[in-house]
Amino acid sequence: MKNRAIFLVDMESFYASVEKADDPTLKNRPVIVSGDPKERNGVVLAACPLAKRMGVKNAIRLWEAQEKCPEAVVVRPRMQRYIDVSLQITEILERFTDQVEPYSIDEQFLDVTGSEKLFGPPWEMAKKMQAAIRKETHVRARIGIGPNKLLAKMACERFSKKNKKGIFELNESNLECHMWPLPVEDLHGVGSKMSRHLRNMGIRTIGGLATYPLSILKKRWGISGQVLWESANGIDASPVRRDSHDGQKAIGHGMTLPRNYETISEMKVVLLELSEEVCRRARLNDVMGTTVSVGARGANRDVPTGFHRQVTLYHPTNNTLDVYASALTLFQRFWDGSPIRKISVGLSNLCSDKYVQLDLFQDVTRKRNLGYTTDWIKNKFGDTAIIYASSLTSAAQAFHRAAKIGGHYK
Asked if residue 243 belongs to a domain, the reply is no
Is there a single domain that holds both residue 33 and residue 158? yes
Q: Is 353 annotated as a binding residue?
A: no
DSSP sequence for 67-118:
HH-TTPEEE---HHHHHHHHHHHHHHHTTT-S-EEEEETTEEEEE-GGGHHH
Q: How would residue 1 be classed by pLDDT, with cut points 50, 70 and 90?
A: very low
Give the long-range contacts of residues 320-325, CB within 8 A, separation 24 or more. Answer: 320/272, 320/275, 320/276, 320/279, 320/280, 320/371, 321/275, 321/367, 322/367, 323/275, 323/278, 323/279, 323/292, 323/347, 324/271, 324/272, 324/275, 324/276
Mean pLDDT of the chain: 90
Is there a single domain that holds both residue 134 and residue 25? yes
Q: Which domain holds residue 23?
A: 1-171
Choice among 203-217, 334-348, 355-369 with the minimum mean pLDDT:
355-369
Q: pLDDT per residue over 265-307, tens digit each?
A: 999 999 999 999 999 999 998 899 999 999 999 988 777 789 9
Residue 140 pLDDT more than 80?
yes
Q: Is 10 annotated as a binding residue?
A: yes
Q: In terms of pTM, does the model score above 0.75?
A: no
**Residue 394's CATH number:** 3.30.1490.100
Question: What pLDDT does residue 208 have?
Answer: 96
**Residue 227's CATH number:** 1.10.150.20
Asked if residue 190 belongs to a domain, the reply is yes
Q: Give 69 or 364, the one with higher predicted confidence.
A: 69
Asked if residue 117 belongs to a domain, the reply is yes
Is there a single domain that holds both residue 182 and residue 137? no
| 11 φ, ψ (degrees, to nearest 5) | -90, 130
Is there a single domain that holds both residue 191 and residue 217? yes
Asked if residue 245 belongs to a domain, the reply is no
Q: How far apart are CA 35 and CA 61, in angstroms?
A: 10
Q: How far apart are CA 278 and CA 252, in angstroms?
A: 6
Q: Give 38 or 94, the one with higher predicted confidence.
A: 94
Tell me the catalytic residues.
107
Asked if residue 237 belongs to a domain, the reply is no
Question: What pLDDT does residue 244 have?
Answer: 58
